[in-house]
Amino acid sequence: MQTARHAELAGVDELVKSYAASRVAGQKPTKTVHDLVVLYRGDPEGLPKLAKTTRAQWSPWLDKIDNQFGSLELRLLKAAGARNAIKRWRNSMADTPRKADYGIQVLRRVLSFGMEEGLVEANPAASFKKLHNVNRADQIVTDDELAAILAKATPRARHVIGLAAATGLRRGDLVELQWGQVRDDHLEVNTGKSSGRVTATVPLTPAARAIIDDLAEERRESVARGAIPSAFILTTEKGGKWLPASVTQAFIRAAAAAGVAKRLHDLRGTAATRLLLAGCTSFETAKIMGWEERSVDRILHRYVDPGAIARKVIERLAQAEVTG
């Protein structure tokens, strides 16, 4: 009986070893960076685990990593020269620091995946500092700038840009918004940053409510004419769903025409400002925006009129007295 048990355990052990040595397409041993990239593309814990937009952004970088390091044997990653080779590759893109940082980010994750799988002993991409260090979390599009941009945008682009400024949602979450996510006073959003696993509650400020109401009325009129309405809140001139890249391009065109040197992402700062002015605390605003509280505090000190904050505090105190 004991002998049979030992034989069974030995067989399981051999099976595990065989599986670990052949976890790539075609059952080939994973020996090179190319093999690891192939494995990462197909493993449920690799590329498929990421959000759709992230997968689209990372896939070309995986090709570049494969072209640059594909023939490198995984056992050589622990050698001192491996980090130098990666640094030279990173520095070859130094004239576009954000691009260089993105490449390192993808390579770092692929090698970390290799370590998790027991295929890589060291991650020489782990210790690189960013070349691009500008934090735009406290940058905003001011009300005057936003008005100028909206004046130059197409009618449909005004909806997207306006709702981005009113909610602070990232473009990937904006284009996925559907009518079933609208509540009386908030939006329930499955965030793209978490592959849809986390639901964020986004308050409907007066500006956001006005846009939603206008689009809802337009939708009702469309249904009354016999048209089949889209499930998506934001649609293009042709009635289709927006693509994230198209949102960025629409903002770039309108901002350039208005002479405003801001980015689409800066609308998140605009939204944070509006939340603060609506009476949200720095902590509450940070939680809604997914930022650190200190970033919100910088917006508060730089852009928000102290008198406006004082008036909001007075209003909240008065309301508290009325409600007891």
CB distance 251 to 257 below 8 Å: no
Query: pTM value?
Result: 0.58
Locus of tokens 């800066």: 266
Q: What is the pLDDT along the chain (324 residues), one digit of tens a residue?
A: 445 444 444 444 444 344 444 444 444 678 999 999 999 999 999 999 888 888 989 999 999 999 999 999 999 999 989 999 999 999 999 888 889 999 999 999 999 999 999 999 999 999 888 887 656 666 789 889 999 999 999 999 999 999 999 998 889 999 999 999 999 888 888 765 555 455 678 888 888 999 999 999 999 999 999 988 999 999 999 889 999 999 999 999 999 999 999 999 899 888 888 888 877 888 888 888 877 888 888 877 777 766 666 676 677 677 777 776
Residue limits of CATH 1.10.443.10 in the chain:
143-323
Architecture of domain 143-323: Orthogonal Bundle (1.10)
